[in-house]
Amino acid sequence: MSRPAFTDVPQPDELARAEARRRHATLLKPVESLGRLEELGAWIAACQGVCPPRPFQRPRVVIFAADHGIAAKGVSAYPQETTAQLVDALVKGTGVPNALAGVAGAGLRVVDVGVDADTAVQEFKVRRGSGSIDTEDALTEAEVEAALRAGVEIANAEVDAGADLLVAGDLGVGVSTPSAVLVAALTGTEPVAVVGRGSGIDDNAWMRKAAAIRDALRRARTVLADPLALLRTSAGADLAAMTGFLAQAAVRRTPVLLDGLTSVAAALVAEELVPNARAWWLAASRCAEPAHDLALEHLDLKPVLDLNIRLGEAAGALAALPLLTMAVRVLTDVATYEEAEVTAPSAP
């Protein structure tokens, strides 16, 4: 399978990060008293290559929607037709991410890359649904390449239009199953350790899901050395497109807020394709799926929030976005001791 021509990823500016840390030490507050907010501000400064960093002007959320053949095995609490109905709700502005994006000041885009129905947002559609990954490949080689190209093209379009922060969200009945398979495969974890409740499944559905992940993981491990083959065997159009999106965002020096299980599963594959891309990603929120922690540990990323969110649809990332705005405003708006003519604390 041919590999997309991702260029090398430039690293964030460590001089700007160091300058942000030095600036924090001069602001009207005890040293390091804002904890993780200070780290976030320094990360943003490093990504932008300037201190103080610029407030985000155009944060953009892209939700990748697709159906998964494995859903027919009873691994979700919802029927497959729900995906298309939820896409319609997002297009109409009545979904959870619509409400959260409005509060967070982010633009929202929905992209149908694999929904098993006609939708209003299928410009980048790769196929309708995907193969049932416990017994067959999710995609063909050509479909993997098309989905990756779609993710790259969408990232480029958003950055070219002025996006200065990107968020990748997911929407699809059954998507937590292939996501868990990718995490188990790439972290060397046994299947039972990655089986979560997903959409709120009962014990019987959990057992069906565990069996599906077990069988899919057997197939995934045969292609583990090739990220593109892994996407073909075990992912879906949404995960493949998200992989291209995350990789290209790093190539374009654009910071990304990672959301729940699906986005971090795609991030694991993107890091395989483009090493060190993870320097441009921030884990927004710990989700309730056990595979999520395993993936974040593998990527060495620490989530900003822990709200027990398991929705997906960029909900966790949107909840964290206002904190990033605050982290920037501290560096831009708070006076130094010298500027405010306030006596600084004595050196230890």
Just list the catalytic residues.
313
Q: Which of 133, 122, 126, 173 is nearest to 313 (CA)?
A: 173
Contact call for residues 76 and 174 (beta carbons, < 8 A): yes
Q: Which of 304, 316, 336 is nearest to 40 (CA)?
A: 304
Q: Which of 124, 138, 118 is nearest to 71 (CA)?
A: 138
Contact call for residues 110 and 93 (beta carbons, < 8 A): no
Q: Exposed/middle/buried for 3, CB within 10 Å: 0-12, 13-18, 19+?
A: exposed
Which residues pair with residue 110 across a beta bridge?
Answer: 63
Q: Exposed/middle/buried for 258, CB within 10 Å: 0-12, 13-18, 19+?
A: buried
What stretches of 268-318 adopt beta strand conformation (E)?
281-283, 285-287, 305-309
Other CB atoms closer than 10 Å to residue 49's CB: what's the count?
A: 14
Contact call for residues 13 and 324 (beta carbons, < 8 A): no
Contact call for residues 206 and 213 (beta carbons, < 8 A): no
